Structure 1
Amino acid sequence: MSARGTFLTFEGIDGSGKSTQARLLAEHLRREGRDVVLTREPGGSDGAEEIRSLVLQGDPDRWSAETEILLFTAARRDHLERTIEPALAEGKVVICDRFADSTRLYQGLSRGDLRGLVDKLHSLMIGREPDLTLLIDMDPETGLSRAKGRQGAEERFEDFGLGLQLQIRAGFLGLAEEFADRFRVVDGNRDMDRVAQDVSEIVMTALR
């Protein structure tokens, strides 16, 4: 773990419950006396939030995968500069709902073999990985049903359908093997409180 602070990320398919688990973890750590910054991607800074509206709304074919990679990387760079790095420099725990692993899959693998481009831009413009990534693993059909049930404006990726969610879930499990040193897989097909308990135990052990 970083001596300056700790960078935790949550990943998972749409509707996996990762955003809820990120919030519950932040609340738990604050009760434990930790200084926590809870943030999200795309977003987490003023500029990145503007880009969020561009990439998460509209028709599924609004952007090519290559354009999305550039937009997500630009948002992540601003987020890193203005939110993540300053908080880590102050010794805080940063909890981020999605980070580069999502881009590796949603843009890098889902619509062509662009993983190399994602990783190259990540190396050039971002240059860091989380200290710990919690993958909330969820049945894709259940997750998609949950996500569509929210009926929000940001459903562009859900509109790609179940096929994408199946592909993304397999991709996340592959990343968990590739980056086994920082990934922890948590079964999200359970009661929210049981998932939260597992998450808090993993994180508290890592923070010791």
Structure 2
Amino acid sequence: MSRFIFADTETTGFDPKSERMLELALIEVVDRQQTGRVLHLYINPEQEVSAGAYRVHGISWNDVKDKPVFKSVAQEVIDFMQGGIFLAHNAPFDVGFFNMEFKRAGVDFMIGRDVDVVDTLAIAKKMYPGQRNSLDALCTRLSIDRSHRKLHGALLDTELLVQVYLMMTSKQGRFNMKLNKAVSQSSTAAQLPCLQVALSDEDKAAHEAYLETIG
């Protein structure tokens, strides 16, 4: 059984050593199915929100100053993560903030040591080399609706990331199965010439739309 914990955070800035977490979202996915278990929390970061970060997520100090501090929810976060695999888009960013918050809270727990980490951005870069692989770009490429996403938000971004990951990995799985079947049926497959074709984003979008019409 594979148990994944999809995650995203919003923060007061971009350096975990000096900035703080102010929102987190965790979604549990077991055997490629969402279980319905979600942990979504706003957190008092105990400091002001930088102007640059506010432009990204639109969360101000006034929005979160009355929320619980991270130390008071740390064990709840650990209990949710434990026994799973942590997934995030550009995982080093989120891992850095989580681990710094655990350290500040005096908790002996580290993502990367106590739970394994998967970086979906690294997966996307291997699948789509040389292309933009932000969450927005992947949603567009994979025909995932993000029209309701005006600003970054931990819960919405995590929900989108689940869809992106499942789409990316399910397509790869189907391709591998077809490839293995084709190779097994031909002893000369390794001798066949390989034609490389570069597709534009428009070609890929049209292909995806066509696949939707035939299920």
Between 1 and 2, higher relative CO (CA 8 Å, sep ≥ 6) is seen in 1
**Normalising by the residue count of structure 1, what TM-score does the alignment of the two structures yield?**
0.33
Q: TM-score, normalised by structure 2?
A: 0.32
Q: Report which of the two structures shows the higher radius of gyration computed on alpha carbons.
A: 2
Higher helix share: 1
